[in-house]
Amino acid sequence: MTASPSRSAAPAHEPSPAVGRALTVLETLVASQEGLTLTALAKKAGIPLATCASIVYTLEQRGYAARKIVGRSHFWRPTLGLYGLAVQLVRKVDLTSIAQTEMQQLALELGMPVHIGVLNGTSVVYVAKATHEGFIQFNTYLGKIAPFNLTALGRAITAHLSDEELQPLLGKLSAGAGPKARASDPESFLALLDEVRRRGYAVEIEEEQSDIGCAAAPFFDADGRAAGAVGITGFAKDFKGASLKRAVAGVTAISREVSARLGFHPDHG
């Protein structure tokens, strides 16, 4: 079982409401499947129209948002400027290759893709992937974004966040579309995270979508913070009995190795 670090202390300073609103606008733009008018963006973000306008025009000036004019309407979208920032960060941390050999071995052994995911706001971003040779391939591409509470990757990470880090996420829970979707209220999710911490890994089976399952284990950095998770994706039938045990053992072993390479010690605390 992956060691769980102690909870972080409360921040020394109060968070900035202005920065919080700007990040909310940015996250809303990224999460939207289509361009948003200023009115729609302000409504979705829950921010006053005038404030939202100031933020989105600033994002445009800095190259992180762009608009398409159709008649009298302006539709806003995020730009790849955000991707450029993410690439720089990934290069510094180098999670894309930190355990590529081990991930590839597990993918070939079990015939399922293996991933590394990190938490970005209310989403999990897939930053590394090792696949297997086979006719069936899963739509888990690099850069994929998924709701944090609907993936084993996201659950494995959020189970080890501090109370201060976790609290804002509880109001952003997404409802699953699968036949075994759980309740998306904060109380149910907190109970699920308690279970994840006890087991040391997370499992999601047919909650986000039908017929698909995943398992993941968290890894930690030198400060004992959950830095991401290693996960494996397959058909729901692959996450039962001995098959589930092999998948969990595989991702747990890799997560321990990644933690060690990031400087984490199991007796951190």
- Would you say the CATH fold of 91-261 matches that of 17-79? no
CATH topology of domain 17-79: Arc Repressor Mutant, subunit A (1.10.10)
> Residue 75: its pLDDT value, please?
96
pLDDT tens track for 71-114? 999 999 999 887 777 666 555 556 778 889 999 999 999 999 99
pLDDT tens track for 36-56? 999 999 999 999 999 999 999
Q: Which amino acid is at 54?
A: S
Domain regions of the chain by residue span: 17-79, 91-261
pLDDT tens track for 143-161? 888 899 999 999 999 999 9
How many degrees, rounded to 5, is the angle at CA 38 between CA 33 and CA 42? 85
> Does residue 5 surpass a pLDDT of 50?
no
C-beta of residue 202 within 8 angstroms of C-beta of residue 244: no
> pTM of the entire structure?
0.66
How many degrees, rounded to 5, is the angle at CA 146 between CA 103 and CA 218? 45
- 240 three-state secondary structure: coil
> Residue 91: its pLDDT value, please?
53
Inter-CA distances, 202 with 24, 94, 115, 167, 195, Å:
27, 24, 14, 20, 8
Give me the helices (H) in the chain, please.
17-31, 38-45, 49-61, 81-93, 100-110, 152-158, 163-166, 186-199, 241-261
Q: List the one residue out of 33, 118, 22 whose CA is nearest residue 64.
A: 22
| Alpha-carbon gap, residue 201 to 152, rounded angstroms | 8
CATH topology of domain 91-261: Beta-Lactamase (3.30.450)
| Alpha-carbon gap, residue 177 to 168, rounded angstroms | 23
pLDDT tens track for 179-227? 998 888 999 999 999 999 999 999 999 998 899 999 999 999 888 899 9
